[in-house]
């Protein structure tokens, strides 16, 4: 693969396998809009999923919010290799301005809500009945324990993936953990891409919406979408 065509980018035009065409929306039959592509083998955080590259498309006419019946109104195309990658150009120009970033490959930890799913032992240390409303007010207990684990002195934003993130753990911006489960094996999916409002992309989901993409480690054709607004 040529590195340049598969480089992580937001906006611009997507790279596809030669012969692949522009994906259409199952809902309105219009073109899906290209949002981002990721050189996952290079830029994915720890515990990588077994793919090397993916592209992400979304329909702003249908505006899916992650329900099962919205299948095909957004799309993750993932690859374990690309033989003849080429940039697929379409229309008068890209929907979004092309932008690039260099990822910071640090270790991420689940956020307070995510500890419930990913680190039950730690969550159980939270005073009160873990998961209850009182416990939500005690997330700092989880935070302090997490800091001890990583031997950090102060929480750094990226430790909690609080931004645009490729892999690692989701940072839930509003309410509880909404990790989708795989419809084939019922196991929780893993974070593929999280897009918070950022200078990296002009794509947006409602008023200050964060979009999360998930994938099953075993069944990589199974992907999930979530959106939370703050």
Within 10 A of 63 (CB to CB), how many other CB atoms are there?
14
CA-nearest of 223, 228, 152, 175 to 197 is 228
Minimum CB distance to Zn ion smaller for 130 or for 223? 223
CA distance 4 to 22: 20
Residues lying near Zn ion in the complex (CB under 5 A) are found at 25, 27-28, 59, 61-62, 182, 184-185, 216, 218-219
Secondary structure element (H or E) that encloses residue 121, with its range: helix 120-123
Minimum CB distance to Zn ion smaller for 61 or for 208? 61
Minimum CB distance to Zn ion smaller for 60 or for 136? 60
Closest distance of CB 49 from Zn ion, Å = 11
Handedness of CA 209, 172, 188, 148 (dihedral sign): positive
Closest distance of CB 218 from Zn ion, Å = 5
Closest distance of CB 10 from Zn ion, Å = 21
Closest distance of CB 220 from Zn ion, Å = 9
CA distance 78 to 76: 6
């Amino acid at each position: 693969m040529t590195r340049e065509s598969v480089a992580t980018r937001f906006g611009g035009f997507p790279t596809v396998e030669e012969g692949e065409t522009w994906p259409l929306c199952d809902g309105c039959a219009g073109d899906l809009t290209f949002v981002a592509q990721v050189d996952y083998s290079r830029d994915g955080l720890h515990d990588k999923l077994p793919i090397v590259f993916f592209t992400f498309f979304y329909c702003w006419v249908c505006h899916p919010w992650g329900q099962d019946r919205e299948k095909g109104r957004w799309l993750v195309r993932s690859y374990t290799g690309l033989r003849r990658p080429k940039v697929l150009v379409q229309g008068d120009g890209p929907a979004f301005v092309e932008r690039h970033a260099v990822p910071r490959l640090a270790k991420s930890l689940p956020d307070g809500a995510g500890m419930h799913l990913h680190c039950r032992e730690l969550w159980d240390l939270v005073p009160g009945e873990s998961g209850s409303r009182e416990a939500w007010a005690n997330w700092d207990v989880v935070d302090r324990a997490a800091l001890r684990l990583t031997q950090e002195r102060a929480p750094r934003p990226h430790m909690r993936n609080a931004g645009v993130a490729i892999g690692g753990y989701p940072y839930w911006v509003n309410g509880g953990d909404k990790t989708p489960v795989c419809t084939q094996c019922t196991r929780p999916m893993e974070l593929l891409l999280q897009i918070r409002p950022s200078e990296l992309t002009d794509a947006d989901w409602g008023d200050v919406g964060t979009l999360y993409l998930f994938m099953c480690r075993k069944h990589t054709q199974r992907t999930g979408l979530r959106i939370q607004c703050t």
